A and B are shown apart, each in its own frame.
Chain A
């Protein structure tokens, strides 16, 4: 691998690691992280395809409250590096690899979130001194540590001779990798289950059913379906609102205006 692509990969790993904790720019989502690694290594097509496949697996992996989900940033970068880089694993191997790496990433993430407490105590000291720039520095140091969380393992993988990694993956029986590839469509259910579990209460299940039935037995596109969903939501709330009109209430119309705003934000 050329020096330029090595440097690019390390920069990407650092940025992806930072965004993994920020959860803002979504660069760490596999569909983007794998694409970037694909560009850096010059194997864009396999990077994008791997990213799209991993995205379906990891789509619902999210931190709910303070609970930390399996890691996304590290497996996205490592898998993409091994598939698009000189090791040139197949996409099936790349997928099989993600689960153990996701567990390692999760352990690292939890350990760092604990040890960041020390950095935060330094920020407390800065507050006692009234030193704003020191406090800001502590925040950015924490961010860099999270970046290193992905950069260092990536660099370690890059140091290993590709031949050894290839040999290791050749030891995995074809039945196993093919079986894992056959389970891709099922694995996305786990992520969706996490999200549904977060949102569900007993009054909401019916909506899951309605959305499911309309989508399963029609050929409508996802944005058409989203529009139908938005209209049904508004209709339902309008009916509920109308039903409650008999009771003393004011500001009903304002409610509707706010829904419109909220839905525009979607």
Chain B
């Protein structure tokens, strides 16, 4: 104990240090990042808002505080949940800087800019492209399957647990490793992780399309029944699920093709409404059982 105190006093004394309460406050604020999303500098004020407990702690001096606020109001935009990793790294840099470390403004901003692109490339496919569709599709199927309130509760709890845990850990890891994270990015690991999340995301999209895209042909069941009578149960089932499957994947691919041709999703939906109205009127399409 005595030795420790001696060690500390022999080193250059730390002037200011972030406290556990600051980390908690910053973690809480990170859930409100996008509130001031704007077309000029996007998430800039959001980032400054998250950093503000740290700015307050680290820069009691007015001119330092002003320059810290200004540098965090520069352009920033990334996938929201991944932003906690950036916050962690920036916190460690700011703490070094406040204690006279060799860190300047442009360096902090360069780190933010270097991280936001790659993290956006992982974050969107992972969170909005995989976790949310899988969880919410499962929750919606619970609702339609008659489990009522358990669907929404499951979705809310599972999503927010995953999100908050991720943000908390990412902020901690970012702070502990500081700018080493950037070196870690350059090892190619990031590329492989991006690849892994995209592969998994595409696989799950295939699953979801198969389970939830449905063209409700009113004749599918009758046709399957006829085939079952003629050539056995196996072929009947194959025709039934084969027809449903081809319609589902075909429709999805057509939608992708239209979106790539810059056609607004709203117009595609209106077009599908039209097909639904004509199809229902002519008896080709029917309404799903739970809506009748």
Contact = CB atoms under 8 A, between A and B. Distances in A.
Interface of A: 18, 21-27, 29, 31-32, 35, 44-45, 48-49, 51-53, 55-57, 59-62, 64-66, 69-70, 91-92, 99, 102-103, 113-114, 116-117, 119-120, 123-124, 126-130, 132, 135-136, 138-140, 142-143, 146, 175-176, 178-201, 204-205, 207-217, 222-223, 225-226, 229-230, 232-234, 236-237, 251, 254-255, 258-259, 262-263, 265-266
B280 A179 contact: yes
Contacts of A23: 34, 80
List the 6 closest pairs (A to B, CB-CB), nearest first.
Answer: A211-B206, A183-B276, A179-B277, A52-B143, A185-B214, A193-B255
12 contacts: A22-B34, A23-B80, A26-B132, A29-B132, A31-B151, A52-B143, A62-B129, A132-B65, A185-B288, A190-B268, A193-B255, A229-B204
Contact of B265 (A18, A116, A190, A259): A190
Contacts of B256: 193, 196-197, 200
Contacts of B195: 237
B118 to A, nearest CB: 14
Given A182-B280, A186-B275, A196 B196 contact: no
A237 B193 CA distance: 10
Given A21-B34, A70-B265, A192 B208 contact: yes
A102 B245 contact: no
Contacts of B136: 26, 29, 31, 55, 59
B143 A31 contact: yes
B205 A195 contact: yes
Interface in B199-233: 199-216
B51 to A, nearest CB: 10
A71 to B, nearest CB: 11
A29 B155 CA distance: 10
Contacts of A194: 259, 265
Contacts of A69: 265
A175 B200 CA distance: 41
